[in-house]
Structure formats: structure tokens, C-alpha cells
């Protein structure tokens, strides 16, 4: 413990020389439980914890930092550094991204970007994504800003600064050995991209949250039938059912490669298939994808599909944030899907 000078203790009604104490704790960030180390001030007289806004602010940022790292979300410093790399003011950088100025300001000062905005900012770190953003938002920018963005694009193309393609931790996992976490298949991002394109082409109103469940059913049923997953993806237990591990990085890769796009619809974004040059699946795998697409289309909403996934033992048998190992699935997933489809009217 280290000394903290001059802090008021309301219990003792006096100013004391309190001490800092670090201890493990948890906090819910966007509905997800995050474990981190918090700092508290302890009164040396009464032993009570003293609340202090300065300390609480630091603790909140620690919890946010853990959440950002877990989901590949840019930190405030990274957002600001990205803006500076383009030489743009806050207003012009926001217009380049298609955001409101206050939104970018909040992200530079501690707010956690939402999934869509984080993907957009990640894409601005790549030459392909930056070119697309400039095309989409050029009319909102002044001539000076356009010149600076084009200069930045040229620098990226020349390779004199950071790599034009943002390196992601997920890409390193393609080297991971087959295991219960990936369904005994090495992660293959080409197969992931192809599967998402196929599902996006087949499923109605496929929101990002709904896609997570569709992928989970494809991979789990493939594991049941053939003793290996279709993609090598890992899935984690989340509040609203199973989700891809490092799902934001997957989203970034899909957008960066031009596989899918998003369009606003009501309260969320619906996936739109753009283009895919390869189709790596055999006949049995295509049949499986079609079966799951029909199953997904039998639900009227993403929340209905999420509720269905909550009844699976491989989900209930894992804790929040944990990887759902494929070996937890004992044939139940395909059985649950087939039972539901058998009860639907022809």
C-alpha cells in the first residue's frame, strides 16, 4: 500500500492520510461482466473505504480498458492518434468517418465506441477502408481535408508508414492447433468469410447479433456430423447467447475485404452481401448451410433465436465470457434444430 495525503473521511469527520489498496473486483460493462483490479482508499483510523471521484474514474477506465482489449476496440489514445495521422481537425475527421463531431469527441475522451463505429475507425487504418470512406463522405469535406486524406492514402500506398492493413490478433490464431475450443479445425478466415457471405445471401433480415447464432449452429452441427467445425471459429458465452470470440475483429476483416456491407434498419444494421470470389465448401457443407439458413429464417427476430439458444446445455454449461468448447455439445444442437423444424407447418 502507498500513502494518499489529505483525503476527507466522512466516517471519522476529519482529513486523514489514507492508503491505496488494490483488490480484484468485477463490473458490468455493456451487459458483460469484466474482471479487473480496482484501487480503493482506506482510512487508517476507522478502516472504512473512502469514496473519491478521482480514484473511481481511474477504476472505471481500467474496466473499460479490459473490455476494449477483449473485443478489439480502439482506446481514446488510439482514436486521437488515428485522427492526428490524417492531420484533420475533430470536425473534419468526424465528417470523413461519417460521425457527428460530438461522437468522435466522446471517443477521444473515454467513451467506448459502439461496434459499428469501431469497425469504421479500424477500416480507416487501412488503405482500402480509407478510400471507401473518402468516396462515401467526400462531399462533406473541404478541399484542404481532401488533400490531406489523399496525401495520407499515398503515404500508405508507398508503405513508408504503418502497414496498410491493420494486423489483428485474430489472424495469429490461424496457426493455433486444432482443439476443443475451435472444433478440432484450425481457424480459416477464408472459410469464415465465405460462410458469412453464404448466410447473408440466404437469411432474411440478418442482423449482426442474429448472425452470431447462425454461425454457432453451423459450426456446432458440422462438429456433430463430421467431428470438426466448418470454420475453426471459437464461440463465447454472452448475455444474449453464443457469440464469435473476437467478433469485432471478424467484422473488420469482412468489411476490409469487401465481403459484406451494412444498412440501417430500425434499431440495428442488417448485413448485405457484396461479393465473394471463392466458395470452398463441398456439397454436404452447402446442404448444412442451407439447413441452418432455413432454421434461422423460421425465427421472427434475433431475440427469439437468442432465447432458443439459451436452452442448449452447451450454453447453460458455460459461464459468462467463457469459451464454449465444442465437446460440450453431445448431439443436442442438431437435435434441437430438427425438432423445431419438424413442428413447423409444411
Mean pLDDT across 113-120: 86
Q: Which of the four pLDDT bands, split at 50, 70 and 90, describes residue 162? A: very low
Does 1 score more than 50 pLDDT?
A: no
Contact 184, 326 (CB under 8 A): yes
Lowest mean per-residue pLDDT among 95-109, 122-136, 326-340: 122-136
Q: Which of the four pLDDT bands, split at 50, 70 and 90, describes residue 2? A: low
Cα 16 to Cα 1, 8, 21, 263: the distances in Å are 15, 6, 15, 57
**Of the segments 90-99, 121-130, 298-307, which one has the largest average pLDDT value?**
90-99
Q: Is the pTM of this model over 0.85?
A: no
CATH 3.10.20 residue spans of the chain? 3-71
Lowest mean per-residue pLDDT among 34-48, 59-73, 209-223, 328-342: 59-73
Q: For position 169, what pLDDT does the model report?
A: 67
Mean pLDDT of the chain: 87
DSSP-H helix ranges across the chain: 53-71, 76-86, 90-97, 101-108, 115-123, 127-137, 143-158, 169-172, 189-202, 208-226, 247-256, 283-297, 302-309, 313-316, 332-343
Domain 3-71 has CATH 3.40.50: no
Give percent of the chain with pLDDT exceeding 70. Answer: 93
In the chain the first and final C-alpha atoms are separated, in Å, by 69
Cα 52 to Cα 6, 55, 60, 302: the distances in Å are 12, 5, 12, 41
Amino acid at each position: 500500500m502507498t500513502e494518499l495525503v489529505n483525503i476527507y473521511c466522512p466516517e471519522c469527520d476529519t482529513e486523514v492520510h489514507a492508503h491505496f489498496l488494490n483488490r480484484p473486483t468485477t463490473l458490468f460493462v455493456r451487459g458483460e461482466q469484466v474482471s479487473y483490479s480496482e484501487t480503493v482508499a482506506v482510512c487508517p483510523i476507522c478502516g472504512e473505504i473512502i469514496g473519491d471521484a478521482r480514484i473511481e474514474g481511474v477504476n472505471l477506465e481500467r474496466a473499460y480498458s479490459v473490455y476494449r482489449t477483449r473485443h478489439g476496440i480502439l482506446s481514446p489514445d488510439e482514436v486521437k492518434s488515428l485522427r492526428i495521422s490524417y492531420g484533420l481537425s475533430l470536425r473534419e475527421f468526424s465528417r470523413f468517418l461519417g460521425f457527428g463531431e460530438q461522437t468522435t469527441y466522446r471517443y477521444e475522451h473515454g467513451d467506448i465506441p459502439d461496434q459499428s463505429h469501431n469497425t469504421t475507425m479500424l477500416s480507416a487504418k487501412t488503405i482500402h477502408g480509407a478510400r471507401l470512406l473518402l468516396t462515401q463522405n467526400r462531399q462533406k469535406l473541404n478541399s484542404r481535408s481532401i488533400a490531406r486524406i489523399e496525401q495520407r492514402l499515398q503515404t500508405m500506398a508507398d508503405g513508408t508508414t504503418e502497414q496498410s492493413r491493420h494486423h489483428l490478433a485474430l489472424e495469429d490464431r490461424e496457426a493455433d492447433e486444432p482443439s476443443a475450443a475451435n472444433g478440432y479445425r484450425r481457424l480459416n478466415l477464408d472459410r469464415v468469410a465465405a460462410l458469412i457471405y453464404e448466410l447473408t445471401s440466404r437469411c432474411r433480415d440478418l442482423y449482426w447479433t442474429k448472425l452470431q447464432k447462425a454461425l454457432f449452429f453451423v459450426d456446432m452441427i458440422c462438429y456433430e456430423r463430421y467431428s470438426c467445425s466448418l470454420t475453426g471459429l471459437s464461440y463465447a458465452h454472452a448475455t444474449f447467447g453464443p457469440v464469435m470470440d473476437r467478433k469485432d475483429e471478424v467484422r473488420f476483416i469482412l468489411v476490409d475485404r469487401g465481403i459484406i456491407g451494412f444498412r440501417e434498419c430500425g434499431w440495428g444494421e442488417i448485413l448485405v452481401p457484396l461479393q465473394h470470389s471463392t466458395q470452398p465448401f463441398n456439397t454436404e457443407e452447402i446442404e448444412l448451410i442451407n439447413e441452418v439458413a432455413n432454421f434461422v429464417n423460421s425465427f421472427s427476430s434475433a431475440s427469439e433465436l437468442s432465447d432458443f439458444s439459451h436452452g442448449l446445455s452447451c450454453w447453460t454449461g458455460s459461464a459468462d465470457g467463457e469459451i464454449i468448447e465444442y465437446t460440450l455439445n453431445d448431439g443436442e444442437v442438431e437435435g434441437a434444430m430438427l425438432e423445431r423444424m419438424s413442428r413447423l407447418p409444411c
